[in-house]
Chain A
């Protein structure tokens, strides 16, 4: 599934990384701890989080994640957006709370299984 399909399907707001929406999303991961995503995030994962600081982009870039979705209409920090534009990492915003958003992502066929 392409990132753009998810954006369209769930009505996500694209805050940065418009050029990376053609990226293939392999799976998903939910966490608000950077160390946890460094340890368990996988290449191509879509990352659902409430953290809005610039280290999220560094972690997404390091792990080759497909993009970051902020929940609950959270506004990304200016630093986060600047870095996301530099690194061409998609920063998306959903109005849904994490539980609901992840349920919908799962319905679309994304899996978070670690094998």
Chain B
């Protein structure tokens, strides 16, 4: 078992609100520079830059997990992370089927799909910042059905969080964990494990918050055990860079 420093919520230049500098190589470089062992790529409603970041990270010394930050019907943000690349394709299909609208790059920002060399392969035209038609419950269920784990994003923020939108965390939602930004952890059910992640939209934000896990290896399956506090896996500490 070893200590794994993980930042499980990083955007790339595919998210309209992220900087163009969030290229696959820049994300990997900054993650290494910050001493992270594991990162998860979670763009708004899309997985389309995950493969490029995984490719850019080959032999770089940081493991990359593919994920997505789904914006639900209630405008709650929830992260789904997956070990299996085919699950990413499937979650993408469900999300796109439930996402309407076209992006206006001038208003919301550009959405760049890149290859591992940072070349723009195409512009994604969908309204990725928009809410899907999926309820939070449906989003969590979809993530689980595809073998992923579901972490509610920034639950202590005043917008796009399960608490801001629904008032509290429904007990039967089945979340695997919750992401908290501030020092103080809000009042949440005891069985929910707290993680910290940067929600980086700019390179310098990567690793500004991270979680120290005790895991056998850097996989979603292992993180799931740590969040459920089973088989010796656990969250050792949640960290903030000072």
Contacts and interface: CB of A to CB of B under 8 A. Distances in A.
A55 interface: yes
A62 B75 contact: no
Interface in A37-62: 38, 51-53, 55, 58, 61-62
A55 B75 CA distance: 12
Contact of A51 (B101, B129, B159): B159
B107 A58 contact: yes
A35 B75 contact: yes
B101 A33 contact: no
Interface in B113-159: 127, 129-131, 158-159
Contacts of B73: 35
Interface in A66-92: none
B75 A61 contact: no
Contacts of B58: none
A34 B108 contact: no
Interface string A17-41: 0000000000000000111001000
B177 to A, nearest CB: 24
Contacts, number: 29
B131 A62 contact: no
A26 B160 CA distance: 29
B107 A38 contact: no
A40 B57 CA distance: 43
Given A38-B101, A58-B107, A62-B107, A53 B159 contact: yes
Contacts of A38: 101, 127, 130
Contacts of B131: 33-35
Interface of A: 33-35, 38, 51-53, 55, 58, 61-62
Top 4 A-B pairs ranked by shortest CB distance? A35-B131, A53-B159, A62-B107, A58-B107
Interface of B: 73-75, 101, 104, 107-108, 127, 129-131, 158-160
Given A35-B73, A51-B159, 15 more contacts: A33-B74, A33-B75, A33-B131, A34-B75, A35-B75, A35-B131, A38-B101, A38-B127, A38-B130, A53-B159, A58-B108, A58-B129, A61-B107, A62-B107, A62-B108
16 contacts: A33-B131, A34-B75, A35-B75, A35-B130, A35-B131, A38-B101, A38-B130, A51-B159, A52-B159, A53-B159, A55-B129, A58-B107, A58-B129, A61-B107, A62-B107, A62-B108
